[in-house]
Structure 1
Protein backbone atom coordinates (compact mmCIF):
# COMPACT_ATOMS: atom_id res chain seq x y z
CA UNK A 1 0.00 0.00 0.00
CA UNK A 2 1.13 3.58 -0.63
CA UNK A 3 2.38 5.25 2.55
CA UNK A 4 1.69 8.83 3.51
CA UNK A 5 3.56 11.12 1.13
CA UNK A 6 3.99 14.67 2.47
CA UNK A 7 2.19 17.32 0.47
CA UNK A 8 0.00 14.76 -1.29
CA UNK A 9 -3.72 15.38 -1.35
CA UNK A 10 -5.59 12.78 0.74
CA UNK A 11 -8.06 12.25 -2.11
CA UNK A 12 -5.23 11.46 -4.53
CA UNK A 13 -3.81 9.05 -1.94
CA UNK A 14 -7.19 7.33 -1.63
CA UNK A 15 -7.45 7.01 -5.40
CA UNK A 16 -3.95 5.54 -5.52
CA UNK A 17 -4.84 3.01 -2.83
CA UNK A 18 -8.04 2.10 -4.67
CA UNK A 19 -6.09 1.59 -7.89
CA UNK A 20 -3.60 -0.66 -6.07
CA UNK A 21 -6.47 -2.61 -4.57
CA UNK A 22 -8.15 -2.97 -7.99
CA UNK A 23 -4.88 -4.18 -9.50
CA UNK A 24 -4.48 -6.79 -6.77
CA UNK A 25 -8.06 -7.95 -7.30
CA UNK A 26 -7.51 -8.19 -11.05
CA UNK A 27 -4.31 -10.17 -10.54
CA UNK A 28 -6.14 -12.55 -8.21
CA UNK A 29 -8.93 -12.97 -10.78
CA UNK A 30 -6.39 -13.64 -13.52
CA UNK A 31 -4.66 -16.25 -11.37
CA UNK A 32 -7.99 -17.89 -10.61
CA UNK A 33 -8.88 -17.92 -14.30
CA UNK A 34 -5.49 -19.40 -15.18
CA UNK A 35 -6.01 -22.12 -12.58
CA UNK A 36 -9.46 -22.81 -14.00
CA UNK A 37 -8.05 -23.07 -17.51
CA UNK A 38 -5.27 -25.38 -16.32
CA UNK A 39 -7.77 -27.58 -14.49
CA UNK A 40 -9.94 -27.70 -17.60
CA UNK A 41 -6.90 -28.67 -19.67
CA UNK A 42 -6.07 -31.47 -17.23
CA UNK A 43 -9.70 -32.60 -17.39
CA UNK A 44 -9.63 -32.57 -21.19
CA UNK A 45 -6.37 -34.52 -21.20
CA UNK A 46 -7.73 -37.13 -18.80
CA UNK A 47 -10.92 -37.35 -20.87
CA UNK A 48 -8.83 -37.84 -24.01
CA UNK A 49 -6.71 -40.54 -22.39
CA UNK A 50 -9.86 -42.25 -21.10
CA UNK A 51 -11.30 -42.07 -24.61
CA UNK A 52 -8.10 -43.57 -26.05
CA UNK A 53 -8.14 -46.34 -23.44
CA UNK A 54 -11.77 -47.13 -24.33
CA UNK A 55 -10.95 -47.15 -28.04
CA UNK A 56 -8.01 -49.50 -27.47
CA UNK A 57 -10.22 -51.76 -25.35
CA UNK A 58 -12.80 -51.76 -28.13
CA UNK A 59 -10.14 -52.67 -30.68
CA UNK A 60 -8.88 -55.50 -28.46
CA UNK A 61 -12.44 -56.77 -27.95
CA UNK A 62 -13.14 -56.57 -31.67
CA UNK A 63 -9.99 -58.46 -32.59
CA UNK A 64 -10.70 -61.07 -29.89
CA UNK A 65 -14.24 -61.48 -31.22
CA UNK A 66 -12.96 -61.80 -34.78
CA UNK A 67 -10.40 -64.39 -33.70
CA UNK A 68 -13.02 -66.34 -31.76
CA UNK A 69 -15.45 -66.21 -34.69
CA UNK A 70 -12.72 -67.31 -37.07
CA UNK A 71 -11.83 -70.24 -34.80
CA UNK A 72 -15.48 -71.28 -34.55
CA UNK A 73 -15.90 -71.04 -38.33
CA UNK A 74 -12.71 -73.01 -38.91
CA UNK A 75 -13.69 -75.76 -36.49
CA UNK A 76 -17.21 -75.90 -37.98
CA UNK A 77 -15.74 -76.18 -41.47
CA UNK A 78 -13.39 -78.94 -40.33
CA UNK A 79 -16.25 -80.81 -38.68
CA UNK A 80 -18.38 -80.45 -41.80
CA UNK A 81 -15.55 -81.75 -43.96
CA UNK A 82 -15.02 -84.70 -41.62
CA UNK A 83 -18.73 -85.53 -41.70
CA UNK A 84 -18.70 -85.31 -45.51
CA UNK A 85 -15.72 -87.66 -45.62
CA UNK A 86 -17.47 -90.10 -43.31
CA UNK A 87 -20.61 -89.97 -45.44
CA UNK A 88 -18.54 -90.63 -48.56
CA UNK A 89 -16.80 -93.55 -46.86
CA UNK A 90 -20.14 -95.05 -45.86
CA UNK A 91 -21.45 -94.55 -49.42
CA UNK A 92 -18.36 -96.28 -50.82
CA UNK A 93 -18.78 -99.17 -48.41
CA UNK A 94 -22.43 -99.49 -49.36
CA UNK A 95 -21.51 -99.49 -53.06
CA UNK A 96 -18.86 -102.14 -52.46
CA UNK A 97 -21.25 -104.33 -50.51
CA UNK A 98 -24.15 -103.93 -52.93
CA UNK A 99 -22.90 -106.48 -55.48
CA UNK A 100 -22.49 -109.01 -52.70
CA UNK A 101 -26.02 -108.36 -51.49
CA UNK A 102 -27.34 -108.83 -55.00
Structure 2
Protein backbone atom coordinates (compact mmCIF):
# COMPACT_ATOMS: atom_id res chain seq x y z
CA UNK A 1 0.00 0.00 0.00
CA UNK A 2 1.47 3.34 -1.01
CA UNK A 3 1.18 6.38 1.18
CA UNK A 4 -0.47 9.44 -0.26
CA UNK A 5 1.90 12.38 -0.52
CA UNK A 6 0.38 15.66 0.67
CA UNK A 7 -0.40 17.95 -2.23
CA UNK A 8 -1.26 21.61 -2.81
CA UNK A 9 -4.86 21.27 -1.63
CA UNK A 10 -3.64 19.80 1.66
CA UNK A 11 -1.19 22.63 2.26
CA UNK A 12 -3.82 25.31 1.62
CA UNK A 13 -5.47 24.23 4.86
CA UNK A 14 -2.23 24.23 6.88
CA UNK A 15 -0.14 27.22 7.86
CA UNK A 16 3.28 27.63 6.27
CA UNK A 17 6.34 26.68 8.27
CA UNK A 18 7.60 29.64 10.26
CA UNK A 19 11.20 30.25 9.29
CA UNK A 20 13.58 31.40 12.03
CA UNK A 21 16.61 33.47 11.03
CA UNK A 22 18.94 30.53 11.64
CA UNK A 23 16.79 28.22 9.49
CA UNK A 24 16.54 30.42 6.40
CA UNK A 25 18.53 29.57 3.30
CA UNK A 26 18.35 30.79 -0.27
CA UNK A 27 17.51 28.83 -3.39
CA UNK A 28 21.15 28.19 -4.29
CA UNK A 29 21.89 26.80 -0.82
CA UNK A 30 18.77 24.63 -0.94
CA UNK A 31 19.81 23.23 -4.32
CA UNK A 32 23.22 22.32 -2.91
CA UNK A 33 21.76 20.92 0.32
CA UNK A 34 19.29 18.47 -1.25
CA UNK A 35 20.69 18.00 -4.75
CA UNK A 36 17.55 19.02 -6.62
CA UNK A 37 17.03 21.68 -9.27
CA UNK A 38 15.57 25.13 -8.63
CA UNK A 39 12.26 24.30 -10.31
CA UNK A 40 11.70 21.32 -8.00
CA UNK A 41 12.58 23.27 -4.87
CA UNK A 42 10.28 26.15 -5.83
CA UNK A 43 7.47 23.64 -6.38
CA UNK A 44 8.16 22.09 -2.97
CA UNK A 45 8.06 25.56 -1.39
CA UNK A 46 4.60 26.18 -2.83
CA UNK A 47 3.24 22.67 -2.26
CA UNK A 48 4.56 22.06 1.23
CA UNK A 49 4.79 25.61 2.61
CA UNK A 50 8.54 25.35 3.28
CA UNK A 51 9.55 28.62 1.66
CA UNK A 52 8.41 31.75 -0.11
CA UNK A 53 9.35 34.79 -2.09
CA UNK A 54 7.31 37.87 -1.35
CA UNK A 55 7.16 39.22 -4.89
CA UNK A 56 8.08 37.83 -8.28
CA UNK A 57 11.82 38.14 -8.79
CA UNK A 58 12.58 38.45 -5.08
CA UNK A 59 14.99 36.08 -3.36
CA UNK A 60 13.49 32.85 -2.03
CA UNK A 61 13.56 32.27 1.72
CA UNK A 62 13.50 28.53 2.39
CA UNK A 63 13.38 26.51 5.61
CA UNK A 64 16.55 24.40 5.63
CA UNK A 65 15.01 21.73 7.89
CA UNK A 66 11.80 21.86 5.87
CA UNK A 67 13.52 21.21 2.54
CA UNK A 68 15.54 18.33 4.05
CA UNK A 69 12.39 16.74 5.47
CA UNK A 70 10.62 17.02 2.11
CA UNK A 71 13.68 15.62 0.30
CA UNK A 72 13.50 12.55 2.53
CA UNK A 73 9.68 12.36 2.35
CA UNK A 74 9.43 12.64 6.14
CA UNK A 75 5.86 13.93 6.26
CA UNK A 76 5.51 13.28 9.99
CA UNK A 77 8.67 15.28 10.69
CA UNK A 78 7.46 18.07 8.40
CA UNK A 79 4.16 18.36 10.29
CA UNK A 80 6.03 18.32 13.61
CA UNK A 81 8.23 21.16 12.35
CA UNK A 82 5.16 23.02 11.08
CA UNK A 83 3.54 22.77 14.51
CA UNK A 84 6.69 24.14 16.21
CA UNK A 85 7.79 20.90 17.88
CA UNK A 86 11.50 21.51 17.33
CA UNK A 87 12.45 19.45 20.41
CA UNK A 88 10.77 16.31 19.03
CA UNK A 89 13.48 13.69 18.29
CA UNK A 90 12.43 13.45 14.64
CA UNK A 91 12.84 17.21 14.08
CA UNK A 92 15.80 17.61 16.42
CA UNK A 93 17.74 15.01 14.39
CA UNK A 94 17.42 17.15 11.25
CA UNK A 95 18.26 20.35 13.09
CA UNK A 96 21.40 18.76 14.54
CA UNK A 97 22.35 17.41 11.11
CA UNK A 98 22.17 20.98 9.81
CA UNK A 99 23.94 22.48 12.83
CA UNK A 100 20.86 24.48 13.84
CA UNK A 101 19.83 24.94 17.47
CA UNK A 102 16.33 23.64 18.28
If each structure's strand is expressed as a fraction of its own residues, which one has the higher value?
A: 2
TM-score by length of 2: 0.12
TM-score (norm 1): 0.12
Which structure is higher in helix share? Answer: 1
Identify the structure with bigger relative contact order (alpha carbons < 8 Å, sequence gap 6+). Answer: 2
